[in-house]
Structure 1
């Protein structure tokens, strides 16, 4: 993802269309925040299971990618939970489900499919509703998650295509929005402009 002159938003980007035949159930923004927390909780647990499987199958770099993405989903959960807590202080996060795994190549495809759904369907639908309700905080949280998920999908597909040609590059996780960069060649997050020095390496 290229760094632009301005931080990307739902108003200055052209890739926020909702997928044709959207499968996302859209409620109020509060409902949508809770649904996103549930979805991200499941994704984080799934990627943690996939990381363990990748390590056991001898794919150390891919294990690190899954670990980084699991941590990224936790960032999204935290942002969404903070907004829900402003309205419902007693709201409890859902329990992470038990997750199974398969061969690492199939786990990468599963992960990519989930991230593509979130970036092309779920989050655009939630962003539209938050815009209709005038909830600027939710628009920003959903937007940053949506943009990060598209990069997660890209990382998974790249890892799938290079499954038998891995390198030693590290993955770097933005602590603000959950963007993941592969390799050392960057200065800041292209989504929220957070500086490289604050990123966590995997």
Structure 2
């Protein structure tokens, strides 16, 4: 993902459209925040299980990618939970059971499919409702998650294509928005402009 002159937003970007004929159930922003937390919780648990499977199958770099993405989903959960807690202080975060993991190539495709759904369907719909309701904090949180998820899908597909030609590159996780960079050739996050020094290495 290239760094732009300004932080990307729904107002200065053209890749925030929702897939046509979507079957997604959309509610109020509060409902959507809770739904996002549920989805991200499941994704985080799934990627943790996929990381373990990748290690067992001898794919160290893919294991690190899944670990980074699991941690990225926790960032999204915490941001979304913070907004829910402002309206419902007693809201309890959901939990999720780790699903059965398969071969790493299939796990990568499964992960990419989930991330593509979030970036092309779920979050664009949630952003639109938040804009209509004037929920500017939610717009920002959803926007950062949407953009990060598209990069997660890209990382998964690249790892799938290079499954038998891995390199030693590390992955770097932005602690603000959950963006993941591969390799150390960057200066700041292209989504939220957090500096490289703040990133967590996997």
Normalised by the shorter chain, which TM-score bucket? Answer: over 0.9
**Once the 2 structures are TM-superposed, how far is the Cα of residue 77 of structure 1 from its aligned partner?**
0.1
1:45 corresponding residue in structure 2? 45
SS at match of 2:21: coil
**Once the 2 structures are TM-superposed, how far is the Cα of residue 23 of structure 1 from its aligned partner?**
2.2
List gaps (5 residues or longer) in structure 2: none
List gaps (5 residues or longer) in structure 1: none
1:94 corresponding residue in structure 2? 94
Q: Distance in 1 between matches of 2:186 and 2:78?
A: 25
TM-score, scaled relative to structure 2: 0.99
Q: Distance in 2 between matches of 1:60 and 1:12?
A: 38
- Matched positions, count: 202
SS at match of 1:192: coil
Q: 97-106 or 63-72: which moved more?
A: 97-106
Q: Distance in 2 between matches of 1:42 and 1:132?
A: 28
Q: Does 1:152 align with 2:136?
A: no
Residues 110-150 of structure 1 deviation map (CA, whole Å, 9 limit, x = unaligned): 00000000000000000000001000000000000000000
Q: Does 1:10 align with 2:10?
A: yes
SS at match of 1:181: strand
**Once the 2 structures are TM-superposed, how far is the Cα of residue 22 of structure 1 from its aligned partner?**
1.1
Q: Runs ≥4 in structure 1, deviation > 6 angstroms?
A: none
Q: Distance in 1 between matches of 2:97 and 2:128?
A: 29
SS at match of 1:164: coil
TM-score, scaled relative to structure 1: 0.99
1:47-66 alignment runs, 5 A limit:
47-66=47-66
Q: 126-135 or 91-100: which moved more?
A: 91-100
Q: Distance in 1 between matches of 2:23 and 2:191?
A: 26
SS at match of 2:172: strand
SS at match of 1:172: strand
Residues 52-84 of structure 1 deviation map (CA, whole Å, 9 limit, x = unaligned): 000000000000000000000000000000000
SS at match of 1:17: coil
Q: Distance in 2 between matches of 1:75 and 1:135?
A: 20
Q: Distance in 1 between matches of 2:177 and 2:97?
A: 23
